[in-house]
Amino acid sequence: MVKGPKLQAVEISEAQAEVLEQFERRHQTPQQMAKRVRVVLLAVQGLGNRDISRIIGLDRMQVGTWRKRWITEYDRLCRIETEHPKQLEDAIKNLFSDVPRSGAPATFTAEQVVQIIALACENPEDSQRPISHWTTRELADEAMKRGIVRTISERQVGRFLKSGGSEAPSESLLAKRHSE
**Greater model confidence, 22 or 105:** 22
Residues 82 and 125 in one domain: no
Residues 116 and 160 in one domain: yes
Domain limit, last residue, from 48, 72, 95: 95
- What percentage of the chain exceeds 90 in pLDDT? 76
> CA 80 → CA 41, 73, 84, 91, 117, distances in Å?
20, 11, 5, 8, 44
Residues 127 and 151 in one domain: yes
Residues 87 and 120 in one domain: no
Residues 30 and 81 in one domain: yes
Kindly report which listed range (28-32, 59-63, 79-83, 103-107) carries the lowest average pLDDT score: 103-107
**Greater model confidence, 35 or 176:** 35
pTM above 0.85, yes or no: no
Q: Is 146 among the domain residues?
A: yes
Q: Report the alpha-carbon distance of residue 101 to residue 120 in Å, rounded.
A: 32
Q: Report the alpha-carbon distance of residue 55 to residue 90 in Å, rounded.
A: 27
Residues 76 and 27 in one domain: yes
Residues 130 and 66 in one domain: no
Q: Is 157 among the domain residues?
A: yes
Whether 75 shows a pLDDT value over 50: the answer reads yes
53 in Cβ contact with 60 (< 8 Å): yes
Give the CA angle between residues 73, 77, 78 to the nearest 5°: 120
Residues 79 and 26 in one domain: yes
Q: Is 43 among the domain residues?
A: yes
Domain limit, last residue, from 95, 120, 146: 95
Contacts 24+ apart (CB under 8 A), 92-95: 92/16, 92/19, 92/20, 92/23, 93/23, 93/33, 95/69, 95/70
Q: Is 180 among the domain residues?
A: no
Query: For residue 176, what pLDDT is reported?
Result: 57
Mean pLDDT of the chain: 87
Q: Is 116 among the domain residues?
A: yes
- What percentage of the chain exceeds 70 in pLDDT? 88
Residues 19 and 91 in one domain: yes
Residues 6+ apart with CB under 8 A from 157: 116, 136, 139, 140, 143
Domain that holds residue 138: 110-164
Q: Is 131 among the domain residues?
A: yes
Q: Is 132 among the domain residues?
A: yes
Q: Is 176 among the domain residues?
A: no
When divided into structural domains, the chain yields a total of: 2
120 in Cβ contact with 161 (< 8 Å): yes
Residues 137 and 74 in one domain: no
